[in-house]
């Protein structure tokens, strides 16, 4: 088990080094940093002095190492567009995205599992059939259209819910939260449904098919024969065993939620990291793009690592394979 974790962690570090190389190359080769820093009036001496000061004359590998060192300390450079440290901007925007992702993930997981169990148990009922057909539409609608549809129905026609921004937020010093005000909570509803809908349908369909598979197994039949209540059989015996694939998929989808937040944040003008990234792409703000790339890969790699370890931990059968593979 320990050897497995160490090997996976080692692979993750290599992946991160590769991503860091991509981010560093963006800095180094896309646009000349000297051009960005010095204005029109410059002398050859100025350029040379700045090159030396910034370490641009050092060998590639030395520059790369110092870039990684600075990134590890949270120094991602200065945004070309806002002329402020990228780390500050991202820290300021992160709570918005994390709160949105948390609510969406929570909705997707709870509703997804509940609906999945429901549709599996009442397989031929009319309600289950309607839910299943609706989920097909949910999977094929692009995220941004779902958002626009919700805005039109609940924002424009019914005028129940706000359609952009976070509403009033409470500043806790290092964190701003929309959870504590009525307008903040109302503002969260539409974006989090938009963001979580795809993951919800995915988890629902997965839980349903796994449940149907498990309910056919002998041990479930045996549990019924022992006279256990339907509730105990369905939830204590059956649902428990559908959780292994659900853990994997949920873990991997967690990353997808953060990535798709880019689209949702644009539709709802949500002031999070995703909107920051889209603006960076539009205005070619390389430091912001590079920082976002590195942060998101660290997150993806960590999630993958945790999921893999969790997987082996939950399913003892894999432990033996894990050691020899």
Partner 1 sequence: MSDLPDTGPAPETAPPSRWKTAWDSDIAYSFRQSPVAVIAAIVTLILILSAVFAPWIATTNPFDPASLNLMNGFSPPGVPNQFTGETFLLGTDDQGRDVFSTILYGMRISLFVGFMAVLFAMVLGVGLGLLAGYVGGWTETIIMRVADIQLTLPSILVALLIFGIARGVIPIEYRDQVAIWVLILAIGLSDWVQFARVVRGATLVEKNKEYVQAARLIGRSSWAIMFKHILPNVLSPVLVIATISLALAIIAEATLSFLGVGAPPTQPSLGTLIRIGQDFLFSGEWWILFFPAVTLLALALSVNLLGDWLRDALNPRLR
**Which residues are near partner 1 by CB under 8 A?**
15, 18-19, 26, 30-31, 140-145, 148, 151-152, 156, 252, 255-256, 259-260, 262-263, 266-267, 277-278, 280-282, 284, 286, 289, 293, 296-297, 300-301, 304
- In degrees, rounded to 5, the angle at the alpha carbon of residue 83 between the alpha carbons of residues 74 and 52 is 70
Q: Report DSSP state, residue 178.
A: S
Whether 146 and 194 have beta carbons less than 8 Å apart is answered as yes
- Token pair 């969260």 is found at 188
Q: Give the C-alpha separation, 249 to 206, whole Å.
A: 9
Q: Which is nearer to partner 1, 187 or 234 (CB)?
A: 187
Structure tokens at 8: 């996976």
- Minimum Å distance from CB 152 to partner 1? 6
Q: Which is nearer to partner 1, 118 or 322 (CB)?
A: 322
- Residue 70 contacts by C-beta under 8 Å, 6 or more apart in sequence? 76, 77
Q: Which is nearer to partner 1, 163 or 176 (CB)?
A: 163
- Minimum Å distance from CB 56 to partner 1? 18
- Minimum Å distance from CB 106 to partner 1? 20
- Residue 111 contacts by C-beta under 8 Å, 6 or more apart in sequence? 196, 200, 204
Q: Which is nearer to partner 1, 286 or 312 (CB)?
A: 286
- Minimum Å distance from CB 8 to partner 1? 12
Structure tokens at 124: 């031929």
- Minimum Å distance from CB 65 to partner 1? 21
Q: Which is nearer to partner 1, 238 or 289 (CB)?
A: 289
Structure tokens at 245: 């694939």
Q: Which helix (H) or strand (E) element contains residue 137?
A: helix 126-140
């Amino acid at each position: 088990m320990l050897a497995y974790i160490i090997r996976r962690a080692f692979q993750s570090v290599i992946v991160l080094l590769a991503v860091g190389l991509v981010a560093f190359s963006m800095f180094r080769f896309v646009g000349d940093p000297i051009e960005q820093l010095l204005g029109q009036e410059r002398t050859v001496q100025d350029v040379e002095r700045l090159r030396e000061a910034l370490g641009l004359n050092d060998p590639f590998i030395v520059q790369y190492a110092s870039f990684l060192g600075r990134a590890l300390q949270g120094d991602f450079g200065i945004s070309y567009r806002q002329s402020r440290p990228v780390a500050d901007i991202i820290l300021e925007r992160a709570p918005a995205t994390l709160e949105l992702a948390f609510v969406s993930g929570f909705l997707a997981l709870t509703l997804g599992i509940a609906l999945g169990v429901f549709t599996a148990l009442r397989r031929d009922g009319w309600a289950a059939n309607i839910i299943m057909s609706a989920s097909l539409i949910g999977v094929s609608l692009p995220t941004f259209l779902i958002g626009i549809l919700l805005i039109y129905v609940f924002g424009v026609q019914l005028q129940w819910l706000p359609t952009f921004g976070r509403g009033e937020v409470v500043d806790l010093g290092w964190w701003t939260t929309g959870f504590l005000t009525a307008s903040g909570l109302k503002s969260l509803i539409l974006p989090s449904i938009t963001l979580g809908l795809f993951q919800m349908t995915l988890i629902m369909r997965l839980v349903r098919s796994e449940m149907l598979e498990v309910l056919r197994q002998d041990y479930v039949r045996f549990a019924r024969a022992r006279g256990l209540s339907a509730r105990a059989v369905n939830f204590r015996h059956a649902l428990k065993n559908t959780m292994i694939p659900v853990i994997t998929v949920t873990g991997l989808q967690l990353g997808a939620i953060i990535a798709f937040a880019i689209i949702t944040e644009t539709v709802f003008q949500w002031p999070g990291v995703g909107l920051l990234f889209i603006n960076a792409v539009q205005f070619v703000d390389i430091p912001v793009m590079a920082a976002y790339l590195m942060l998101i890969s660290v997150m993806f790699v960590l999630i993958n690592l945790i999921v893999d370890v969790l997987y082996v931990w939950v399913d003892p059968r894999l432990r033996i394979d894990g050691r020899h593979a």
